[in-house]
Structure 1
Amino acid sequence: MAVKNDILAYLEQHRNGFCSGELLAKELGVSRAAVWKAVESLKKSGYEIEAVTHKGYRIAANTDLLSAESIAPFLGEHCQKLKIQTFSSLESTNLTAKQLALAGAEEGTVILAEEQTLGRGRLGRSFFSPAGAGIYLSVILRPDLKASEAVLITTAAAVAVCRAVKEIAGAETQIKWVNDIYLNGRKICGILTEALTGFESGSVECVILGIGLNFSRPERGFPPELREQAGFLFAEKPDGITRSRLAGAILNHVYALCNSMENRTFLEEYRQRSLILGREITLYRSGKKQSAVACEVDHDGGLLVRYPDNSMETLHSGEVSILL
């Protein structure tokens, strides 16, 4: 298994050219036969690997499987120690991450799945997570925050995703408070942050940050109930841009912002990318809906709203909608 993973990592890092079996054997300190056996095992795992006489091996450009090895080349220095685990299928990456956190998993444990069978969004909603079309990841964070400040993780993550999408795809996205990312009027990403808090201290012991992003058009499309509002980053899988590359960029930006939470400078970008500030919204709480105007995002990530009677309130949870 170690040779297989080492060869996968090497091929991922050298996607633009062929790597000869002789070079791989020399670099990894194994036999040519071990290289061939590992390549065959990778093929059986779903990797399309081109083999050309006198040139060597190369991962085909359209191969886009998520793995720790495929993401590692795109991680910045501050993310090199992340412990990335990938799965072909999970009920929910957040659920798995939460179970690992409760068992003592350390800060920087990252869970990714090719698909989620019971993916969840906010307020218990399901999150459509088909195989091969999205990035579904959860990160275990252990920030020094009070429970009342946990919403800052969500706002920072939203800005991080927008920055990563801009960096890799060149697309400008917008944010609908508090956790949805939109492109061209359609939701392409949802963020679910779950905090485990100390009952006596009131401090956050652990945060599970879940990000689900629609990378490309699902092979069978979206379910009928999502077709009007759901979108995707790419109509077709692009050449040269893989989910691993974008996942790496997302992790880079998440950690860059989470390591500088105290200055909260990301909030200004959050405001600039807001879909709702200055607009009339519908607020849903406890089965009731109210009309309001979204006025401001405050220093703690709360949403200041003005009701028709001119009374004001700062929201730290709830669901809002607008007419796009």
Structure 2
Amino acid sequence: MVEMELKYRVLNALSQTDGYVSGGEMAARFNVSRTLVWKAVNQLRRDGHAISTVNKLGYRLEIQTDIINPHVIEDYLEKSFATQKQKPTFRIESLDEIDSTNEYLKRLANAGTGEIAVAVADRQTQGKGRNGKSFFSPSGCGLYISMLLRPRFDAREALFLTAAASVAGARAADEARRFFDDGAPLPETETKIKWVNDLYLDGKKICGILTEGCVDVESKGLSYAVVGAGFNVYPPTEGFPDAIKGIAGTIFPRKPDKPIRSLLAARFVSSMTEYYLSLPDRSFMESYKSKSCVTGRKIAFSRDGRSFAATAIAIDDECRLAVKTEDGKETLLDCGEISITEIK
């Protein structure tokens, strides 16, 4: 067992009890020596975890901290799919820092890694958004997560992966907010979807979705797809950069003493896997439509180098946005950026 994996297993064991866990008990459970358990505890302390030691009793986690723990994610997923006859298998990698979780999984895909691989990071040095835009990805306050999928359908279906991820992300954010309880209840506000791939809460962007794929030239299908989501979980210590502070929001107004990011990651992966395995059914589309913060609002969009003002009418079953321009003409948008004067 590699030291990084053992560290997370020890943290998971300590997180599941308010009492002490002996080094011998963990050594036996994980089939390692007590010395390796001791080293793992010291590494956790260096990471900022308050762990006390009492002779003959063992170790205790004094304060829950929000490290992203892959074993918490694995445990949740195992319970989520426990009743299925054919359970999906997951490869989950937790990274302290990476250039981009999407780029990381694309490298794994090109090396032959199968589905379903998940990469989750505390920080990205080159976080990506749509159209080559950068995505602000500081440490300790966000969740940057990507899933490698090997879909067996036409590349045109990739748009529905983005829609599915948007619903999965909104669902995960809302469920995590219900779990949050530090004595000051949060407003019961629902996460909304801005067509086609952004999540908004209280008028602020809390998450962006980016789907990338590699097309098999012979089959015209996707060789693989990588679906990434970047969540703003808590406010950054130094605030958001000037360029985005007017539109950027967070899922939570403050940081609790709970492993909330692991829960958020687990619920996103669980929902996204559920939708992915039944993608042709498009069971998520009704939620995608009902959660829209665009329908009925004034928008602006660009086409063929020209800018248009319009009203968003509806989202159809093909995930296209139906709009009516100022001259009364109706048209369908199947991709691209739109802007809204005010998001509610």
Report the residue type matching 2:231 in the other structure: L
> Is the CA contact 1:191–1:212 (under 8 Å) kept in the aligned structure 2?
yes
2:75 equivalent among 73, 76, 79: 73
1:303/1:76 CA distance change after superposition, 3 Å:
farther
| Percent of residue pairs identical | 39
Tell me what 2:113 maps to.
105
Call closer, same or farther: CA 1:212–1:289 in 2, change over 3 Å: same
In structure 2, distance between residues paired with 1:167 and 1:104? 34
Measure how far apart 1:271 and its partner are.
0.9
Determine if contact 2:65/2:258 at 8 Å carries over to the other structure.
Answer: no
Task: Identify which of 131, 134, 154 aligns with 1:123.
Answer: 131
| Aligned equivalent of 1:267 | 285
Query: Which range is displaced more, 239-248 or 275-284?
Result: 239-248
Q: Which amino acid aligns with 1:237?
A: K
Superposition deviation, residue 53 in structure 1: 4.2
Q: Which amino acid aligns with 2:302?
A: Y
Match of 2:237 in 1: 219
Q: Residues 303, 43 of structure 1: CA spacing in aligned structure 2 closer, same or farther, 3 A cutoff?
A: same
Shift of 1:215: 0.7
1:50-61 to 2 correspondences below 5 Å: 50-61=52-63
Give the superposition deviation at 1:119: 0.8
Q: Which runs of 5+ in 1 are unaligned?
A: none
Moved more, 16-25 or 188-197: 16-25
Q: For residue 133 of structure 1, report the CA deviation from its aligned partner.
A: 0.9
CA distance in structure 1 between the partners assigned to 2:99 and 2:7 by the alignment: 30
Superposition map of 1:21-100 within 5 A = 21-77=23-79, 78=81, 81-100=89-108
Give yes or no for contact 2:65–2:259 (8 Å, CA) kept in 1. Answer: no
> CA contact under 8 A between 1:4 and 1:41: conserved in structure 2?
no
Q: State the alpha-carbon separation in 2 of the partners of residues 182 and 12 from structure 1.
A: 32
Q: Is the 8 A contact 1:168 1:241 kept in 2?
A: no
Letter in 1 for 2:280: E
CA contact under 8 A between 1:47 and 1:65: conserved in structure 2? no
Give the 5 Å matches for 1:227-266. Answer: 227-266=245-284
- Cα deviations across residues 51-70 of structure 1 (Å, max 9, x unaligned)? 34454223343422224234
* Alignment pair present for 1:142 and 2:144: no
Determine the C-alpha separation between the residues in 2 that align with 1:292 and 1:95.
36
| Closer, same or farther: CA 14–80 of 1 in aligned 2, 3 Å | farther
Structure 1 stretch 193-202 or stretch 177-186: which is displaced more?
A: 193-202
1:37: how far off?
2.9
Distance across 2 between alignment mates of 1:283 and 1:4: 47
- Return the TM-score normalized by structure 2: 0.87
Amino acid at match of 1:216: Y
- Is the contact made by 1:174 and 1:183 (CA closer than 8 Å) also made in structure 2? yes
Tell me what 2:8 maps to: 8
CA distance in 2, matches of 1:161, 1:88: 21
Structure 2, unmatched stretches of 5+, are 82-86, 179-188
**Structure 1 pair 13/174, CA: closer, same or farther in 2 (3 Å)?**
farther
- 1:146/1:203 contact within 8 Å kept: yes
Q: Distance in 1 between matches of 2:235 and 2:77?
A: 26
Distance between the aligned counterparts of 1:7 and 1:128, measured in 2?
28
Segment of structure 1 superposing worse, 64-73 or 108-117: 64-73
The count of corresponding residues between Structure 1 and Structure 2 is 324
On the 8 A contact 1:118/1:126 being kept in 2, the answer is yes
| Distance in 2 (alpha carbons) for counterparts of 1:125 and 1:29 | 46
Query: Cα distance 1:31–1:111, how it changes in 2: closer, same or farther (>3 A)?
Result: closer
Distance 1:286 1:96, change over 3 A: farther
Change (3 A) 1:244 1:168: same
Deviation, structure 1 residue 10: 4.7
Q: Quick check: 2:68–2:259 contact (8 Å CA) kept in 1?
A: no
Greater shift in the superposed pair: 57-66 or 313-322: 57-66
Q: Is the partner of 1:226 in helix, strand or coil?
A: coil
Residue aligned with 1:131, SS: coil
Q: Is the 8 Å Cα contact of residues 130 and 218 (structure 1) preserved in structure 2?
A: yes
Q: In the alignment, what sits opposite 1:207?
A: 225
Relative distance call for 1:27 and 1:96 in structure 2 (3 A) is: closer
Distance 1:194 1:91 in 2: 16
Deviation at 1:29, TM superposition (A): 3.8
Question: Residue 204 and residue 5 in structure 1: after superposition, are their counterparts in 2 closer, same or farther (change >3 A)?
Answer: closer
Tell me how far 1:283 sits from its aligned partner: 0.9
Q: Does residue 281 in structure 1 map to residue 283 in structure 2? A: no
Alpha-carbon spacing, 1:55–1:139, altered in 2? closer, same or farther (3 Å): same
Distance in structure 1 (CA, Å) of the matches to 2:173 and 2:25? 35
Q: Given that residues 196 and 206 in structure 1 are in contact (C-alpha distance below 8 angstroms), is that contact kept between their aligned partners in structure 2?
A: yes
Normalised to the residue count of structure 1, the TM-score between the two structures is 0.92
